[in-house]
Amino acid sequence: MTARHSVFFGDVAEDEYYATPHFPLAGDKVIVQTLPAQFGGSVANAASIYAHFGMPTSFISQLNSGPLTQRLLGQMREQGIDTGHVIFDEDVPDSKCIILLHGEQHIVLIPTLGITHSEIVPATFEHMADAEFIVSTLTDVKPFRRGPQGPAEILESLRRRGARMVLDLDVYNAENQGSGLLEHCDILFMNSLGASRFEQEGQSISRLLDGGATAIVITRDSEGCELHHAGGIVEVPGIPVEVVDVTGAGDTFTSSFLYAYSLSGDLVEAAEFANAAASLAVGTVGARGGLTTRDAVDAFRRSTARTP
């Protein structure tokens, strides 16, 4: 049986990397080492990793049609990713990120693209509605429009058609508070900082689960992850590894979780598989260091006694 495609809707960017002796303070000047640029963008990273597992994958974003965009999309097509539904908008600037590395830590600076309206045309809506998962972020879904419909109505329409809505909240920025979109999602991911902000803003994991969410997953870096679902809370411990670059580890986790969940239907197995894949990813430089295979992840789990 052929797997259904999944749609990743969000950012793709050229990541400019700089190694810094320390993270700058206000008024500081720091001499940094320029490192090779990498293909990046959180949602594009996740799409690339998902596709590398052999899963049918589509990527949608709102971009200009310039040379940088063509390079970014061309690289994704080389990975077998469908980019046929990308929204071209010449008012959108080139998509770039600046990443500062210091030891095991990093700071990501993401220039805004100023997108306030993403029109979901009929062909794109049908493509999304036929997907197994639609993976995005709050920032990317808030501009969704379908004629008079806003994002909440669109998400519910997609879910009624059988697509499962997945949002990566990452650090959960306060500007997304009150968007009313979390209640229209099936699976949510956030890191430990995001979970703290999530609670401070009055959000409730139990309320989302009671409202129909399938799972909320909190990633905790070297400490592993925490899976919240209808059956309770499952703590998956971290795996000690030598850390080279944590950039993109969350994207690896998201895609690996969805891949394992699609195949097994088991949330706990998905969390354990994703935890191992993310541990592997931090051993390489680049946001797409998580490109791996099931065999590699399973071998790593066996070597660390993490395979059931």
Which residues are paired to 6 by β-bridges? 57
- Residue 42 is assigned to a structural domain of this protein: yes
- Residue 27 is assigned to a structural domain of this protein: no
Domain that holds residue 185: 6-22+33-303
**How long a stretch of residues is the chain?**
308
Strand 96-102 and strand 105-109: the pairing is: antiparallel
What is the model's pLDDT at position 289? 55
238, HSE (Cβ side, Cα atoms, 13 Å):
13
- Residue 308 is assigned to a structural domain of this protein: no
- Residue 28 is assigned to a structural domain of this protein: no
The number of folded domains in the chain is 1
What is the model's pLDDT at position 3? 74
- Residue 209 is assigned to a structural domain of this protein: yes
What is the model's pLDDT at position 174? 61
* Angstrom distance (rounded) from CA 32 to CA 261: 41
- Residue 1 is assigned to a structural domain of this protein: no
Look up the CATH number of the domain holding residue 257: 3.40.1190.20
- Residue 169 is assigned to a structural domain of this protein: yes
Angle between helices 267-281 and 249-264 (to 10 degrees): 150
Q: Which two tokens stand for residue 33?
A: 């080492």
Residue showing tokens 């809370």:
233
Strands (E), the chain: 6-9, 13-19, 33-40, 57-60, 62-63, 87-88, 96-102, 105-109, 118-119, 133-136, 144-145, 164-170, 187-191, 215-219, 225-229, 232-236
What is the model's pLDDT at position 207? 92
Sign of CA dihedral 63, 64, 65, 71: negative
**What are the pLDDT tens digits along the chain (308 aa)?**
567 999 999 999 998 999 999 999 999 999 999 999 888 888 999 999 999 999 999 999 999 999 999 999 999 999 999 999 999 999 999 999 898 999 878 888 888 899 999 999 999 999 999 999 999 999 899 999 999 999 999 999 999 999 999 999 877 666 655 578 999 999 999 988 888 888 888 888 999 999 999 999 999 888 899 999 999 999 999 887 776 556 568 899 999 999 999 999 999 999 999 999 998 876 665 555 557 889 889 988 888 875 55
What is the model's pLDDT at position 30? 94
